[in-house]
Structure 1
Amino acid sequence: MNLYRSVRAVADASGDDAIDWQAAAEAAKASTDPGSLALEPGEQAAYARDVREAREGVREAAGLEFDVPEVIEIQNRHHWMDANIETFQRVMAPMEDQLGAFPGVARTVNTGTMTVLLAFLGRNVLGQYDPLLLAEAPDDDHALYFVRPNILNAADVLEVDPDRFRRWIAFHEVTHAAEFGVAPWLSTHLEERMQSGIDALSEGSFDRNAFRELDTTMTVVEGYAELLMDHAFDDEYEDLRRKLDARRQGRGPLQQLFRRLLGLGLKQRQYERGKAFFETVIEHRDLEFASQVWDGPESLPTDDELETPGLWVRRLES
C-alpha cells in the first residue's frame, strides 16, 4: 500500500467531469493491498466444481432452467475494482456535469469519496454476480467474480473451513445467476428504475417511486436468493450466516459509518425483508408457486405485498 500515492492521486484529480475516474481507481488501488492470487494446487478446479455443483443444485431444487455466465473470474482486490469502476461510471454519468461554483474543489471531493468507496468495497466483497447493468453492449455475457483474498481472510477471521466457506459463497452467487437467467427482463427493469432515479437527482429532484420500486425489486432478488439457498445448499450454513452477521455488527464505528453511507445497511434490510416474505409464501404454498415472481415485472410484489405476503399470493391465484 502507498497512502502518499493515494492522496496525491486524489489531489491531482483533473478533467471536465465531476469525478476523475482514473485518479479514483489509482488512489483506491494505492491504498489497498491487492492480496495474493497464488492458487494452491487444485484450487482453481475447486472453484469450478463449486460453481458447477451450485448450478446443478439450484436447478434441481427450483426446477429452473438457467446457466451460469461464461465469465467466471478468481480475482484479487485490484481486479475487482477494475471490473466494477466502469459500472460506477455508467451509473453516475447523468451527474457528471454537477460541479457547482467551485468545480476544482468539487471534483477533488467527489474523486476522494469514490476512492474511499472503491477501497472499502474492494476489501470486503467476497463474491459477486455482475449483471453488467447499463452496459453499452446489453448482449454481453454477465460475469461471476470471486475475490480470493477476501474469502480467505473472512474464513480465517470467522474461524470456518475455507473450502466450505468458498462453496457457500459460490452457491449464493449462483442463485443470483438463476434469477437473472430465468427472468431476462430483470436487468432492463432494474436499469430503467436506476436511470430514472439518477436522472432526477441530476436535475435536483428525487424520484421517490423509482427508488421505491428499485428497493422492492432488490428485496425480492435478495430474498429469493436466500430461499434457493435453503433448498439447494447441501450442508448446514446457519453458522456461517450468523458468524458473518456478527462480524458486520462488531465492526468499529468508522466501518459502521461506511456501511451506512454505502447503503450496506439497506442491503441487510432487503435480505431480511425478502427472506421473511418468501418464508411466508412457502408456508402457504411451495417453491414452484414462489418462483412465479419471475414471470414478469407485473408478478413482482408491491411494497404493501412485501409487508403482507398473503396479498401477493391471492393476487397471483386470481
Structure 2
Amino acid sequence: MPMSGTERALGDAIDWSFAAGVGARLARPAPAMSRYTYDTATAELASASDRAEAPVRDLTGLGDGAEPPPALVVDRPGWVHAAAASMSELVGAGEHRSWAAKPAGAQAGAMLAYLSSAVLGQYDPFSRTLLLVTPNVVAVERALKVPTSDFRLWVCLHEVTHRVQFAEAPWMADLMRDAAGQLSAAVDEPIGDIAGRLVSAVRDLREPEGKPMSQRGMLGLMRALQAEPQRDSLDRMLALGTLLEGHADHVMDAVGPSVVPSVVRIRRAFDSRRRRSSNPVHRVIRILLGMDAKIAQYIHGKKFVDAVVAKVGMEQFNTVWSGPDALPTLGEIDKPEAWIARVLG
C-alpha cells in the first residue's frame, strides 16, 4: 500500500539508518562479564522465551497456534539497530529525505543509545520479532540479587505475552501506524487556541517547588500543544500501551508461581527498583523519553486487567482483543467497571 503524504513527511523527517549507526556507537558498554557468562545468559534467554510460550497461552487463552519464531537475543547496539528499523516501519520512512533528516537522526540515535541500557526486551509487531537484551538482563539481575534462571524466565513471560497479544490481534499494528501518522499531521490551528491550552496546562501543573516536572505534567503540556485529532491519537496510543503493558504484568505474575519459584521475591525487588529515585538529570531525561510513562503504564494497566479478570474472568476479558472499539479509553483504564459496562454490557 502506498504511503500517505503524512506518513511520508514523518518518515522523511528522521534518517533512521543514520540514527541506528549513531545510537550503536553511543551505546554504553555492557557490564563486565566473561565470554562464557555472556554466552550462557544468551542461550538461557533464548531457551526461556521458548519455555514461556506454553504457560502464557494456557493462562490467557490467546495465540494463533502457530509455532513462534525463535527470539532474537542481542547486545545493546543490536537492540538499537532493531529499534530504529521498527521506528522506520512505524512512521513509514521513505527513500528521499529532507536536509534535516541526518541531524534529526543523530538526535534520535542519542535517544536510542540512552534507552539501549534500560530495555530488557520487547516485541516488534512489524517484524514480528521478540528481542531480548542480554547485557541489560544480566545487569538488572545482578543489581536485584535474584536467582538468574528465575529472573530470565520471568522477563520472558512478560515479553512473550506481547507476542501472543499481537498474534491474537494483528490489527493493533495498523492502529499504531495510523495513530503515529495522525500525531505527525500538520494542523492549521490559530496560535491563540494553542497558547490558551498551554497556559491552562501550566496553571494545572502545580509541581512542588524544586522538583522536576512529573509525567502527568509533561503529558499535559504535550496534549496542550496538539489539536483535537492529535490529542485523540495520543490518548489512543497511551491507552493501548497501558493495556498491553498491564496485561503482560498481570500474566507474568499470574503464571509466575507455577514456573518461577522466586517470583514473589523478584516482583518485590523489581518494583522497589522501579520506585527508586534517580539523580535529577537522569530523572528529567527519563520523563522526556517517556520512561516514567512506561512505568505508569505497568502500574495502571495491571490494576485495570486485575480488576476486570477478577470480575468477569479471562475469557470475557479477552473481548478487549476483538477490535479497536473494544479497547479501553484512558478514562476507563482507571475505571474498569466503565469498560465492562460499555463493552461487555
**TM-score bracket for the superposition, by shorter chain length:** 0.7 to 0.9
The size of the alignment, in residue pairs, is 289
2:233 corresponds in structure 1 to 210
CA displacement 1:209-256 (0-9 Å, x = unmatched): 111111111111112112222322223534333433433433222221
| 8 Å CA contact 1:293, 1:299 repeated in 2 | yes
Partner of 1:226: 249
Q: Which residue of 1 aligns with 2:160?
A: 174
Counterpart in 2 of 1:31?
A: 26
Which residue of the partner structure matches residue 302 of structure 1?
329
Distance 1:267 1:174 in 2: 18
CA distance in 2, matches of 1:23, 1:44: 27
State the percentage of identical aligned residues.
30
- Does residue 243 (structure 1) correspond to residue 241 (structure 2)? The answer is no
SS in 2 for 1:312: helix
Q: Secondary structure at the match of 2:306?
A: helix
Contact between 1:18 and 1:96, CA under 8 Å: does it hold in 2?
no
Task: Answer yes or no: is 1:54 the counterpart of 2:52.
Answer: yes
Task: Decide whether aligned partners of structure 1 residues 68 and 194 sit closer, same or farther in structure 2, where only a CA change above 3 A counts.
Answer: farther
Q: TM-score, with normalisation over the residues of structure 1?
A: 0.79
**Contact persistence 2:62–2:165 (CA under 8 A):** no
Matched to 1:313, the amino acid is I
Map 1:110-259 onto structure 2 (within 5 A).
110-132=104-126, 141-200=127-186, 206=227, 207-233=230-256, 234-235=259-260, 236-248=262-274, 249-259=276-286
* Alignment-derived partner of residue 200 in structure 2: none
One-letter amino acid of the structure 2 residue matched with residue 214 of structure 1: M
Partner of 1:137: none
- The one-character-per-residue Cα deviations of 1:33-55 (angstroms, maximum 9, x if unpaired) are 45379355765553343122211
2:298, 2:111 → 1: CA distance? 21
Please give the residue correspondences for 1:34-45 in structure 2 after superposition, counting only pairs within 5 Å: 34-35=29-30, 38-40=35-37, 43=41, 45=43
How big is the shift at 1:290?
Answer: 1.2
Partners of 2:264 and 2:234 in 1: CA distance:
31
Letter matched to residue 229 of structure 1: M
- Tell me the secondary structure at the aligned position of residue 71 of structure 2: strand
Q: What whole-Å deviation, never above 9, does each CA across 1:49-98 have from its counterpart, x for those lacking one? A: 31222111011112223356415211111111111112233445689999
**SS where residue 124 of structure 1 aligns?**
coil
Q: Secondary structure at the match of 2:170?
A: coil
The CA deviation at 1:293 is 0.8
C-alpha contact 2:76 2:135 (8 A) present in aligned 1? yes
User: Does the Cα contact within 8 Å between 2:49 and 2:71 map onto a contact in 1?
Assistant: no
Q: TM-score, normalised by structure 2?
A: 0.73
Q: Partners of 1:83 and 1:76 in 2: how far apart? A: 11
Contact 1:32 1:123 in 2 (8 A): yes
Name structure 2 gaps, 5 residues minimum: 1-11, 190-224
**Runs of 5+ in structure 1 lacking a partner?**
1-16, 133-140
Secondary structure in 2 aligned to 1:193? Answer: helix
